[in-house]
């Protein structure tokens, strides 16, 4: 049985095995921690059925695994074409979400999909689409990288449009996406003087979002609260209490008390629940998983033969890991509350599927050299056969 599983894995799960391992580990951790973090909520809202969210979340996690599996089977070069279509779709969806979307916590980030009655955030689609499209545009214009009209103008326009629309309802996501774009442009050999233009674009977009967006006052109040040493917010207080009670080895699975007090303990502050139940050891283990993902992504950059695959892996890995670092930093009190989930660990809906898609794209990139190697072997075999 073990041998069959090993053979099936080698045959069907191509690409970097370490990335596969990180994804599966984060998904399994997510199932256990979300079950614990939502048990009280499920008991209260679903007539004592504490497994309600467990079943729903587990299905979504495995659907995310399947999404990654499907994406990794696609040649990563096709994502360049798909990203352009996704960008054109995401812009009107972001506009619709801002103006007419479902409002939760004073932000209209969600659109409900008809028939299945499932809500999703267009920003999840826009993030992946912009990163893939930016990697494609930079790679195709390497010989004209300093040409403002041909290379930089289309890139700056797309970054401005997408980041501005996201910032109208979700400032933290827009900032992280903007930083990811800056990294990609830096790796893509864009001169520093033009990166200054990107900073100016970001300042204009941020000002517009603060002026007419929905989250300007919220951002200011959260930053002020974080800088106020004489006052600690409700969420920060209970997150610190949960973390302190966990100690080195934690209270044990399912024994969290913080889940009864922390708002969004299953999403924004799930890292606090991990530290409470699994202690510093569990928290460091999760941190290491994300760092390993970043290292593997950067390794693909150094090993890539073409600019596109290197930029693609760098953009996706940096985006996921940066969001994880911000989420964990907020949980332990190193930054103001942001509302960003912990990628592939926090409970979510379609955001899990888009994270699975991001993993699948990375795996597709890592699979590329193996495919090329296999094709080379086949070609050599055919040439040998003809010679014989």
Q: Tell me the domain boundaries of the chain.
A: 22-73+232-383, 77-214
| Mean pLDDT calculated for residue range 188-217 | 80
How far is residue 91 from each of residues 80, 98, 130, measured CA to CA in Å?
Answer: 17, 11, 11
C-beta of residue 293 within 8 angstroms of C-beta of residue 366 = no
Confidence of residue 370 (pLDDT cuts 50, 70, 90): very low
Of residues 200 and 11, more confidence is placed in 200
**pLDDT score, position 276:** 93
- pLDDT of 373 > 60? The answer is no
Mean pLDDT of 289-309: 89
84-88, 218-222, 316-320: least confident range: 218-222
- Is the Cα dihedral 318, 131, 110, 161 positive or negative? positive
Q: Which pTM does this prediction carry?
A: 0.88
Grade residue 210 by pLDDT with cuts at 50, 70 and 90. Answer: confident
Contact 308, 139 (CB under 8 A): yes
* Separation CA 119–CA 109 (nearest Å): 10
**What Cα–Cα distance (Å) separates residue 288 from each residue in 34, 297, 322, 324?**
20, 14, 13, 11
Give the mean pLDDT of 21-25: 95
* DSSP E strands, 79-158: 102-104, 107-113, 118-120
Mean pLDDT of 320-326: 95
If pLDDT is split at 50, 70 and 90, which confidence band does 190 have? confident
In the predicted model, what is the mean pLDDT of the chain? 84
Percent of the chain at pLDDT exceeding 70? 90
Lowest mean pLDDT across 7-21, 215-229, 295-309: 215-229
Q: Is the pLDDT of residue 116 over 70?
A: no
pLDDT given for residue 48 in this prediction? 65
């Amino acid at each position: 049985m073990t041998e069959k599983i090993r053979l099936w894995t080698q045959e069907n799960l191509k690409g970097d095995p370490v990335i596969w391992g990180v994804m599966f580990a984060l998904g399994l951790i997510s199932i256990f921690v979300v079950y614990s973090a939502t048990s009280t909520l499920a008991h209260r809202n679903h007539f004592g059925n504490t497994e309600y969210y467990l079943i729903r979340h587990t299905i979504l996690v495995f659907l995310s695994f399947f999404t990654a599996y499907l994406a990794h089977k696609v040649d990563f070069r096709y994502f360049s074409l798909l990203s352009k279509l996704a960008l054109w779709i995401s812009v009107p969806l972001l506009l619709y979400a801002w103006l007419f979307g479902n409002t939760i916590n004073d932000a209209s980030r969600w659109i409900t999909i008809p028939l299945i009655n499932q809500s999703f955030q267009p920003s999840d689609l826009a993030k992946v689409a912009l990163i893939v499209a930016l990697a494609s545009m930079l790679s195709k214009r390497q010989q004209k990288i300093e040409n403002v009209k041909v290379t930089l103008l289309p890139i700056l326009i797309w970054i401005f449009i997408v980041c501005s629309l996201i910032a109208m309802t979700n400032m933290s996501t827009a900032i992280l996406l903007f930083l990811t774009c800056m990294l990609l442009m830096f790796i893509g050999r864009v001169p520093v003087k033009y990166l200054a233009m990107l900073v100016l674009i970001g300042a204009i977009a941020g000002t517009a979002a603060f002026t007419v967006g929905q989250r300007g006052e919220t951002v200011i109040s959260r930053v002020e609260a974080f800088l106020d040493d004489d006052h600690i917010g409700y969420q920060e207080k209970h997150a610190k209490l949960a973390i302190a009670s966990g100690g080195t080895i934690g209270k044990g699975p399912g024994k969290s008390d913080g889940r009864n007090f922390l708002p969004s303990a299953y999403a924004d502050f799930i890292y606090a629940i991990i530290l409470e139940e699994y202690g510093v050891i569990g928290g460091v283990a999760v941190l290491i998983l994300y760092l390993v993902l970043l290292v593997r992504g950067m390794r693909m950059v150094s090993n890539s033969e073409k600019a596109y695959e290197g930029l693609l892996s760098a953009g996706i890995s940096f985006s996921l890991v940066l969001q994880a670092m911000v989420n964990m930093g907020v949980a332990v009190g190193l930054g103001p509350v942001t509302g960003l989930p912990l990628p592939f660990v926090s409970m979510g809906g379609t955001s899990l599927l888009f994270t699975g898609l991001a993993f699948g794209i990375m795996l597709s990139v890592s699979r590329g050299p193996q495919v090329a190697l296999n094709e080379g072997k086949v070609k050599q075999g055919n040439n040998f056969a003809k010679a014989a």
